[in-house]
Structure 1
């Protein structure tokens, strides 16, 4: 039995090493959230087993949980580089299949048609606003800036204030609000499904997304000209890396010891 107990320990250490390696590899990925591996004890016993004699048969991976603590904020100066100062996720929709994704990586840019998109071409979602920049509803829509206003003046720039209002400036000096950035919140963000590129999808475990404007309810404010960096702590990950390596070596040594004991028993019998 000790062979399989130690073998499970080696597999668990390998899983932990993989998670830590993924964290380290994404230490420079904007909006990335680190994960940690959690284990649980395996015990097998019948109703007649003496509770003082239960030995246990190893451990298993209980969960790989995500840590959504805030990462450090880096100033960039670009108007469409956005960081959230509290909870919440940017909402982006794929123009190809209409799927909705959520991210903390706020690196956006404009296309030639006036759409505000992320690095994968997904369109940032906005809430509708009136001429004074007040939110008028909860219906999400693509962030699209008119390249020419009603007076025929050409678009010259865009800004985003701390309340998430996207304002478009035109050559005639007018400034028109386009919409308010829609931030998503979840009852259990740990239940979100990773889909890569520092983005997530909602699941039954996370619960349905609720949307709101920055600065209201559980949603943080918006910092324009800044990006949230990964929340990976390299020093902590390196300590975890050493620990996982030692766990792997210790379990390998246990298998080696069990092999030597078995060989000794076999030699005694012969």
Structure 2
């Protein structure tokens, strides 16, 4: 009987060494999770029959985090998994956040070509559709379309001690102060809008506005009135005919085929006091020209953001994470992936940082959580385990040899 007990021990020790060896071999594998073997005794008819391997458990604790300069390196902290899809449409899960682009389709894929899935963007401007069914994420090279300026504003600091002047459109130098703002039409053409400030009386100014990018553009006059303390109290004409103050409508003529349009210009916040000179703060407007994709990044929330040549950004999608009620029930599939099973339960899909799916860290990778010191100690223990069972066989063989040699 002890032969079989010892053989079962040898088999168990051999499998334990296999698991330890696999841990050590994957100590540099990104996202790898340590395996631990579990034994159970064999018992029948009141007699111990040895041992067996009952299960190989995995430690899903976080591995150390390392910084990375790659835009598509992402690490998970917590209980989450990346949701992947292979060429057959099978959904798998991984902790390895080293991704790259498929050159042909510009899909985001792992090193084995599996598609990273997440939430798509919809609308113009694009907005992440959180809660939608996950789809393969891409980084398209589609240019960002231009956006026409519809709203603009500028805060002027006008000098109350300036002389009253009469502005001559044929001589722009007759203005008390000259400013400008750049806006965009329906094709993304920039229009340089000239602002010629003319003091007409005490506490009263007129701004003569002209599109300097289109020859022969007419002037639009905007009257500004200030209180005795220098605060702006009215701007006329207002875009709303019933209003006594507010933004004024400025025409935007057609340029190189663009649609003739208009935008509103607001001087709210402007001040007239004895500054000793005239100035204005940086203008603000909501338009921009077209832009080509020049880069991308992944935020700590998993949002993939495109960077464009027009100094604008826009979301391209968001990485979805999955969590399980029993991660140890996942089935190992190789290539740093797992599949869900009845034991693991169905995946809960969500966005990083919400619920139980963990958080994401951009420009980071999660190292293997293998503890080399522990593995080497476990290897020594497993070796002694193996040697002891082998010694049991040797001892039993010696006893049998004694019996056989008896006369």
TM-score, normalised via structure 1 length: 0.92
Deviation at 1:128, TM superposition (A): 3.1
Given the superposition, is the C-alpha separation of residues 171 and 116 from structure 1 closer, same or farther in structure 2, using an over 3 Å criterion?
same
Question: 1:205, 1:89 → 2: CA distance?
Answer: 17
CA positional deviation for 1:55: 4.3
1:180 aligns with 2:174: no
Distance 1:73 1:136 in 2: 27
Does structure 2 conserve the Cα–Cα contact (< 8 Å) formed by 1:138 and 1:212? no
For residue 191 of structure 1, what is the aligned residue in structure 2? 329
* Bigger Cα Rg: 2
What does residue range 112-131 of structure 1 map to in structure 2 within 5 Å? 112=103, 113-129=105-121, 131=125
Distance in 2 separating the partners of 1:153 and 1:115: 21
Which is richer in helix?
A: 1
Q: Which runs of 4+ in 1 moved over 6 A?
A: none
Other-structure match for 1:217: 355
| Greater shift in the superposed pair: 15-24 or 74-83 | 74-83
Measured in 2, the distance between the counterparts of 1:56 and 1:34 equals 31
Higher strand share: 2
Measured after TM superposition, the shift of residue 172 of structure 1 is: 2.1
Partner of 1:79: 71
Tell me by how many angstroms 1:92 deviates.
1.3
Return 5+ residue gaps in structure 1 as ranges: 46-53
| Alignment partner, residue 22 of structure 2 | 22
The 1-side partners of 2:33 and 2:132 are apart by 28
Structure 2 residue aligned with 1:50: none
Partner of 1:223, secondary structure, is strand
Q: Out of 138, 148, 152, which is 2:142 matched to?
A: 148
Task: Quote the Cα distance in structure 1 between the aligned partners of 2:376 and 2:89.
Answer: 40
Check the 8 A contact 2:295/2:306 in 1, yes or no.
yes
User: Hey, what's the Cα distance between the residues in 2 that align with 1:180 and 1:232?
Assistant: 30
Query: Which residue, out of 371, 375, 390, partners 1:252?
Result: 390
Q: Which secondary structure does the structure 1 equivalent of 2:354 belong to?
A: coil
Aligned twin of 2:43: 43
Q: Structure 1, residues 48-89: CA drift from partner, whole Å, max 9, x if none?
A: xxxxxx441211111111110110001112221000121100
Equivalent residue number for residue 52 of structure 2: 60
Q: Is the partner of 1:244 in helix, strand or coil? A: helix
Q: Unaligned regions of 5+ residues in structure 2, if any? A: 146-289
TM-align CA RMSD: 1.5
8 Å CA contact retained: 2:120, 2:137: no
Q: Which has the higher contact order (CA 8 A, sep 6+)?
A: 1
**1:257 match: secondary structure:** helix
Shift of 1:137: 2.4
The Cα shift of 1:132 comes to 7.1
**Residue 149 of structure 1: how far off its partner (Å):** 2.8
Corresponding pairs, count: 260
Q: Could you tell me the TM-score, scaled by structure 2's length?
A: 0.62
Distance of 1:58 and 1:242 partners within structure 2: 21
1:8 is displaced (CA, Å) by 0.4
Kindly indicate whether residue 97 of structure 2 is the aligned counterpart of residue 106 of structure 1.
yes
